[in-house]
Amino acid sequence: MVVLMRVLSRRLRESIGPAAPARPRAVHSVAEGKRGSRIIMSPPLVSLDLPDVWAPNFGHSGPPLNYHQTNGQTAAMIDGKLIAEGIRSRIASEVRRMKDSIDRIPGLAVIMVGQRKDSQTYVRNKMTACEEAGIKSVLAELPNDCSEDDVLKALLSFENDPSIHGILVQLPLPNHLNEERILNVLSLEKDVDGFHPLNMGNLAMRGREPLFIPCTPKGCIELLIRSGIEIMGRKAVVIGRSNIVGLPTFLLLQRHHATVTVVHAFTKNPEEITREADIVVTAAGVPNLVRGNWLKPGAVVIDVGTHPIEDPNHEHGYRLLGDVCYEEAVQVASALTPVPGGVGPMTIAMLLSNTLDAAKRAYDFS
C-alpha cells in the first residue's frame, strides 16, 4: 500500500515514542583533539571505541544555505503515525485470532529503572499501545539506586513467566548499572528489542536470520517499503552508528541490497557524502544536523532524531526537533518523515509486532 500524504506545514504533536535514548554528551573540544590524532600502530579494539560527538546545529545560525529547490514544491510527508496505526490494527486482529484459537495472548514485560521523564513517557506509550492491541503488559519499576541484582531478579522472574513472551529493559539505565551484563541475561527468545549480540550477528551475516529485528530500524525500513520506495540498488547513507539504530539500519538496508555508507562523527565532509544518497536515514542525535544542502534533490529522508527543545509558547512547554532541518529538507527531498509522527510511532508498532511474533513462536501458532 502506498501511503504518501502531502503537507505544507509542520505539525508538532506530543511524542509517541522514542527513536533512540538520549546519549551522553562529551565536551566537544576533547573529541576534536581525539579526532586529530593518528592511529598508526595496532591498538587493542577497546581503545578505538571513541564517542561519536557531532557539532550541534541549533538555531540555524550563519548565512542562508544554498540548497537546491525543486521548483518550490514541498516533499511528500511519510506519515508514520498513519502507517503505524494500520500495522497496529492488523496486530490487534492477529491477537484476537490467537485468543479465539488457543485462548492465549502475547505478553510484554517492561523493566524501568529510575524516574527519567522521557523514559516514563515512552514506557507509558508502549504500554498503552499494548493494551489497545490486546497484548498483556507488565511493568517492573525499580528505584534509581537499585542494585544490579534487583534488576536481574526482576528480569529472571519475567524469564520464568510463560505468559510473558517479550522483555524490554528501558534504556538508558543509571550509570551504576552494567547494561551489557544485564542484557546478556535476557534470553534470545524474549529479546524483543533485538539488542543481543547473537541476534545482531545473525542480522549481519548472510544466510542467517535474527529472531527479532530491532524496532526502530525495522520501522524505518517498513516506512520505506510501505511508501513504495525502492531500496535495492539505491545509494543509502545512514548517519550515526549506534548499536540500537545506526548499525542495524545499515545491516537491514544492505540486506535489501542498497549500497550503504555509514556517516559518523569522524566523517570528513558528511554533507558531501550525504548529498550522494537516494535514501538518508539520520540517527545522529543532533537537532538540525542535516540541512537542506546536505540532501540530493529528490532524496528520501527518514529522521530518527527526537530532541525535546524548551519552548514556552508550546502547549507542553517544549517542542520536538529531529536530526533534520525539516523546513529546509521539505524543499529538497521527495519524501520525508516528520518529527514527531514519523519514526516514533513505527518503533512502537514494531515492538508490538515483535512481541506478537515471540508469542506465536512460543505457542507454535501461525
Q: Which residues are catalytically annotated?
A: 126, 170, 193
CB of residue 268 to a copy of itself, shortest distance in Å: 5
Please, what is the minimum distance in Å from the beta carbon of residue 304 to a copy of itself?
Answer: 16
Q: What are 206-213's contacts with CB under 8 Å, separation 24+?
A: 211/361, 212/354, 212/357, 212/358, 213/248, 213/252, 213/350, 213/354
What DSSP string runs through 1-24? ----EE-SS-------S-SS----
- Tell me how far apart the alpha carbons of residues 366 and 352 are, in angstroms, rounded to a whole number: 16
Collapse the DSSP code of 366 into the 3-class scheme (helix H, G, I; strand E, B; otherwise coil) and give the result: coil
- Closer by beta carbon to a copy of itself, 11 or else 38: 38
Non-local (6+) Cβ contacts of 214 within 8 A are: 193, 194, 195, 203, 244, 245, 248
Question: Minimum distance from CB of 249 to a copy of itself (Å)?
Answer: 12
Question: Minimal distance in Å, beta carbon 259 to a copy of itself?
Answer: 4
Q: Which of 74, 259 has the CB closer to a copy of itself?
A: 259
Q: How far is the CB of 251 from a copy of itself (least distance, A)?
A: 8
Residues in the chain: 366
Q: Which residues bind a copy of itself (CB under 8 A)?
A: 35, 37-42, 45-46, 48-50, 180, 196-202, 204-210, 213, 221-222, 225-226, 228-233, 235, 241-243, 247, 251, 254-257, 259-264, 266-268, 273
Q: Pick the closer one to a copy of itself by CB: 197 or 317.
A: 197
Quick check: 165 and 352 in contact, CB under 8 A? no
In the complex with a copy of itself, which residue's Cβ is closer, 246 or 342? Answer: 246
Distances (CA, A) of 3 to 12, 64, 281, 306, 347: 20, 33, 19, 23, 18
Question: Between 113 and 239, whose beta carbon lies closer to a copy of itself?
Answer: 239
